[in-house]
């Protein structure tokens, strides 16, 4: 069983309403701390400030796009944050966008609008992947 109350999540979207809905869904799922960023540049700064257990992000943003953010995040020079599990939330889930996102290291894709249940399922998958990679079972009972 996942203990989400200990989790720290970063929600990145240039649309304030989309950020609020995503954050509310994470709260309903029991995520303990939620930090919001209004674009890719702000997200990079947040990722440098401390570890996150997961990140939800939009694909199309005006300053640094989801592709740009993933390029920075997955670069080994970025350090520890590069392993942060990422859920892409997008209204533009074309084959090309999803394939590009996967190539850049996105773990899951949610099509907007999505339900809290759909987010919970994606959350369980990315946290399970992160647990398997790290070998750390501290978020499971």
- Per-position pLDDT tens, the chain of length 141: 355 678 999 999 999 999 999 999 999 999 999 999 999 999 999 999 989 999 999 999 999 999 999 999 999 999 888 999 999 999 998 999 999 999 999 999 999 999 999 999 999 999 886 554 444 444 332
Residue 139 lies inside a defined structural domain of this protein = no
Residue 53 lies inside a defined structural domain of this protein = yes
Contact in structure between 109 and 80 (CB atoms under 8 Å): no
- Total count of domains within the chain: 1
Structure confidence at residue 110 (pLDDT)? 97
Residue 137 lies inside a defined structural domain of this protein = no
Structure confidence at residue 1 (pLDDT)? 39
Residue 31 lies inside a defined structural domain of this protein = yes
Both tokens of 38, joined, read 């209004």
Structure confidence at residue 138 (pLDDT)? 40
Contact in structure between 124 and 2 (CB atoms under 8 Å): yes
Cα–Cα distance measured from residue 100 to residue 89, given in angstroms and rounded to the nearest whole number: 14
Residue 62 lies inside a defined structural domain of this protein = yes
Residue 113 lies inside a defined structural domain of this protein = yes
Residue 105 lies inside a defined structural domain of this protein = yes
Structure confidence at residue 4 (pLDDT)? 62
Residue 138 lies inside a defined structural domain of this protein = no
Domain assignment of residue 41, given as a range: 4-132
What CATH number is attached to the domain comprising 84?
3.40.50.2300
């Amino acid at each position: 069983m996942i203990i989400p109350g200990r989790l720290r999540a970063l929600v990145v979207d240039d649309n304030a309403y989309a950020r609020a809905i995503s954050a509310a869904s994470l709260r309903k799922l029991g995520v303990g701390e939620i930090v919001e960023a209004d674009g890719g540049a702000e997200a990079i700064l947040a990722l440098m400030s401390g570890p996150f257990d997961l990140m939800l992000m939009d694909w199309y943003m005006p300053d640094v796009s989801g592709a740009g953010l993933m390029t920075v995040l997955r670069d080994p020079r970025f350090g520890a944050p590069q392993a942060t599990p990422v859920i892409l939330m997008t209204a533009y889930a074309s084959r090309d966008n999803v394939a590009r996102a996967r190539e850049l290291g996105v773990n899951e894709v949610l099509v907007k609008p999505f339900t809290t249940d759909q987010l919970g399922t994606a959350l369980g998958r990315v946290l399970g992947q992160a647990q398997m990679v790290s070998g750390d079972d501290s978020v499971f009972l």
